[in-house]
A and B are shown apart, each in its own frame.
Chain A
Amino acid sequence: MGNLAIPDAKGLYDCLKSVARRRDVRTIVLDLGNTERIDGAGMAVVSLGRTLAQRAGKRLEVANVDAQHRQALELNAIAPVVNDVKDAPPTWLEVLGTHMIGFYDGVLASVKLFGDAFSQLGHVITGKKKLPKGATSRFIVTMGIDALPIVCMLSALLGATLAFQGIVLLKRFGAGMFVADMTGLAVVREFAPMMTAIVLTGRNGAAIAAELGTMRVRGELDALDAMGISSSRFLLLPRLLALSFVQPALTLIAMFVGIAGALIVARLSLDLPASIFWARIVGRVDMMDFIHGLAKSFVFAQIIGFTGCYLGMRTTADPSSVGAATTRAVVVGIFLIILVDAIAATIGSLGGPS
């Protein structure tokens, strides 16, 4: 008595393979007379044996099968091989075309979402519709106040590092005190808006994409559509409004904290009095520099919020696409932020040095 089950399946399979190769064999007989138990692996080996024999121009006969085993074998035999033909792998041209069509569809969908959000904002402003109660203030707390420590810490470190590097270079020319001008301008116009935007992209952009992606997987976005509720108004606008408020606010704080970091380094390295450092900053950095930095931060807020919402909403029902959307929200968000920053810097430089 024996079993035709998982432990013995490989042995029998190897045996059938070698017998099927023999030229002196025309019919292979598989005697199941002493077999007590046949499991799924055993049935698979019998089925594979038939296929191997057929390919080699031979026949496989199963002998001495009891009623129970016959029933099981017949049950599986009624299932003929139906080929679910795999598509041939696409050529590079098809891949390129697919990506281009995907990009075009993406641009169209994002323009549509942006237009819808803009129109919903109009409805909210005119009082025809309202935002979900308490959502915007909740997002201000989670996206802004909770992000304050990390933004402050990174800004201080960045200002200090910038001052360190500036002092090393400027000291060679006996112009150490100009570190205040350099760091003040760099932090207010570039580094504070950029650093805050990158931190908030990694923190809030990713969170928005993951949250909305999960909502898509759970069918919550479909539920909103089915109820006739605009997902732009219900989900996108509160997040965009919260970001539009917290991003400039955090950037403004980052500007002062970054300058403070630079001031501490200048005080320690150059023995530069704080009053002189501050006087140089006030003389060099004017209101337009602050407005430039804050205006950029407002645009960055729209990029972070819109990218996160758009990619989260575009998630498919497959849970793995939530991870992909989250990653993409960060990568695309940072890319667009740097692109916009480069464009702003180029346009700013056209007016000559400030």
Chain B
Amino acid sequence: MKLDSMLTCRKLAVGYEEGKPVLTDIDLEVHRGEIVALLGGSGSGKSTLLRTITGLQPPLAGGVTLLGEDMYTLDDDGRRALLRRTGMAFQQDALFGALTIQDNVALPVRELTKLPEPIICEMARMRLALVGLAGLEHRVPGMLSGGQRKRAALARASILDPEIIFCDEPSAGLDPVVAAELDATLLRFRDVLGITIVIVSHELESIRALADRAIMFGQGKMLASGTLPELEQSQNEEVYHYFHARSA
């Protein structure tokens, strides 16, 4: 059965301390094949929400349904099995410094499948080529630029063809050219490989290029949801200010 809804949050409250939620009453839905951006100022709780959606931080209230499964009612094995169907690209790339880029990308395949080594190496090589890192397979992360490391992290997150990828600030700190290349890679993932993508980002240029929909957070709650043009014309003062701060 094809699931149209990839991610649903119901009355979700996220945070690190009971009684002090960072975000409350989050109701959102992400559909198959969408690219959805989670927006908000620094400290608005976007990354905390992402951690809760990806099983890294239990919710204070409410529930998360990911790929048709209620994540926080699953036992540990069930949750791990569910998370194997997803990919996560961390803000700080989180590549293993002691492994080559190829071994970093191949790691999930080596650990989670019984595929023979030639197939694993070819998968890693092809995925690295897809993100524009052909020829850098044997470098360690320390030998790569920030943009290259982000792309390697994206290759690792996508190597098992997940149904949905979560990206935390994928283009933060990158120059416009590299950021545009990364955006193009994400679009290829969606258009060709059919992967649904949820992005947490501050980069309005990237969001304009990528996102079908955006959800804006602030003041501890969800402020607005819709297409980018809809949000840009929002009557909500904070949302309007977010999009028009530079032009003001």
Is B97 touching A318 in the complex (CB atoms < 8 A)? yes
Query: A79 and B137 in contact (CB under 8 A), knowing A9-B119, A48-B118?
Result: no
Beyond known contacts A71-B192, A72-B193, A75-B188: 9 more, CB 8 A cutoff: A9-B115, A10-B119, A40-B160, A41-B115, A44-B122, A48-B119, A68-B194, A76-B129, A317-B97
Is B130 touching A79 in the complex (CB atoms < 8 A)? yes
Residue from A13, A86, A316 in contact with B119 in the complex, judged by beta carbons closer than 8 Å: A13
In the complex, what distance in Å separates the CA atom of A75 from the CA atom of B142? 28
Can you report 24 residue pairs joining A to B where beta carbons are below 8 Å apart?
A5-B161, A6-B160, A9-B115, A9-B119, A10-B114, A10-B115, A13-B118, A39-B161, A40-B159, A40-B161, A41-B113, A45-B122, A47-B126, A48-B122, A68-B194, A76-B126, A79-B126, A79-B129, A79-B134, A82-B135, A317-B97, A318-B97, A318-B98, A318-B142
Contacts of B129 in A (CB 8 A): 76, 79-80, 82
Q: How large is the interface on B (under 10, 10 to 19, 20 to 34, 35 or more residues)?
A: 20 to 34
How would you classify the secondary structure of chain B's contact residues: helix, strand, loop or mixed?
loop
Q: How far is the CB of A255 from chain B (nearest CB, A)?
A: 45
In the complex, what distance in Å separates the CA atom of A41 from the CA atom of B137? 18
Is A75 touching B130 in the complex (CB atoms < 8 A)? yes
List residues of A whose CB falls within 8 A of some B CB. 5-6, 9-10, 13, 39-41, 43-45, 47-48, 68, 71-72, 75-76, 79-84, 86, 316-320
Is B229 on the interface with A (CB-CB < 8 A)?
A: no
Is B130 touching A84 in the complex (CB atoms < 8 A)? no
Is B130 touching A44 in the complex (CB atoms < 8 A)? no
Is B11 on the interface with A (CB-CB < 8 A)?
A: no
Is B138 touching A84 in the complex (CB atoms < 8 A)? yes
Is B127 touching A40 in the complex (CB atoms < 8 A)? yes
Is B134 touching A82 in the complex (CB atoms < 8 A)? yes
List residues of B whose CB falls within 8 A of some A CB. 97-98, 109, 113-116, 118-119, 122-123, 125-127, 129-130, 134-140, 142, 158-161, 188, 192-194
Is B139 touching A84 in the complex (CB atoms < 8 A)? yes
Closest partner residue, chain A, to B132 (CB atom): A79
Contacts of A44 in B (CB 8 A): 119, 122-123, 126
In the complex, what distance in Å separates the CA atom of A317 from the CA atom of B138? 18
How would you classify the secondary structure of chain A's contact residues: helix, strand, loop or mixed?
helix
In the complex, what distance in Å separates the CA atom of A56 from the CA atom of B231? 58
Contacts of B139 in A (CB 8 A): 84
Is B126 touching A13 in the complex (CB atoms < 8 A)? no
Closest partner residue, chain B, to A43 (CB atom): B126
In the complex, what distance in Å separates the CA atom of A39 from the CA atom of B84? 14
Is B115 touching A316 in the complex (CB atoms < 8 A)? no
In the complex, what distance in Å separates the CA atom of A320 from the CA atom of B159? 25
Is A6 touching B134 in the complex (CB atoms < 8 A)? no
Is B119 touching A317 in the complex (CB atoms < 8 A)? no
Q: How far is the CB of A21 from chain B (nearest CB, A)?
A: 15
Q: How far is the CB of A325 from chain B (nearest CB, A)?
A: 14
Q: How far is the CB of B102 from chain A (nearest CB, A)?
A: 9
Is A72 touching B192 in the complex (CB atoms < 8 A)? yes
Is B98 touching A320 in the complex (CB atoms < 8 A)? yes
In the complex, what distance in Å separates the CA atom of A10 from the CA atom of B159? 17
Contacts of A43 in B (CB 8 A): 123, 126
Closest partner residue, chain A, to B137 (CB atom): A84
Contacts of B193 in A (CB 8 A): 72
Contacts of B161 in A (CB 8 A): 5, 39-40
In the complex, what distance in Å separates the CA atom of A43 from the CA atom of B98? 28
In the complex, what distance in Å separates the CA atom of A80 from the CA atom of B118? 17
In the complex, what distance in Å separates the CA atom of A41 from the CA atom of B122? 8
Contacts of B160 in A (CB 8 A): 6, 39-40
Q: Most chain-A CB neighbours within 10 Å: which of B114, B126, B134, B142?
A: B126
Q: How far is the CB of B198 from chain A (nearest CB, A)?
A: 20
Is A47 touching B122 in the complex (CB atoms < 8 A)? yes
Contacts of A76 in B (CB 8 A): 126, 129-130
Contacts of A45 in B (CB 8 A): 119, 122
Is B135 touching A83 in the complex (CB atoms < 8 A)? yes
Q: Most chain-B CB neighbours within 10 Å: which of A48, A82, A84?
A: A84
Closest partner residue, chain B, to A321 (CB atom): B97
In the complex, what distance in Å separates the CA atom of A5 from the CA atom of B161? 10
Closest partner residue, chain B, to A74 (CB atom): B192
Q: How far is the CB of B25 from chain A (nearest CB, A)?
A: 36
Contacts of A83 in B (CB 8 A): 135
Query: A319 and B97 in contact (CB under 8 A), knowing A43-B126, A44-B119, A76-B126?
Result: yes
Is A13 touching B98 in the complex (CB atoms < 8 A)? no
In the complex, what distance in Å separates the CA atom of A84 from the CA atom of B140? 12
Contacts of B138 in A (CB 8 A): 84, 86
Contacts of B118 in A (CB 8 A): 13, 48
The 4 closest A-B pairs by CB, nearest first: A79-B129, A82-B135, A44-B122, A39-B161
Residue from A40, A316, A318 in contact with B126 in the complex, judged by beta carbons closer than 8 Å: A40
Contacts of B109 in A (CB 8 A): 41
Contacts of A84 in B (CB 8 A): 135-139
Contacts of A79 in B (CB 8 A): 126, 129-130, 134
In the complex, what distance in Å separates the CA atom of A83 from the CA atom of B115? 23
In the complex, what distance in Å separates the CA atom of A84 from the CA atom of B139? 8
Is B142 touching A81 in the complex (CB atoms < 8 A)? no
Contacts of A80 in B (CB 8 A): 129, 134
In the complex, what distance in Å separates the CA atom of A72 from the CA atom of B130? 10
Is B116 touching A10 in the complex (CB atoms < 8 A)? yes
Query: A6 and B113 in contact (CB under 8 A), knowing A75-B188, A81-B125?
Result: yes
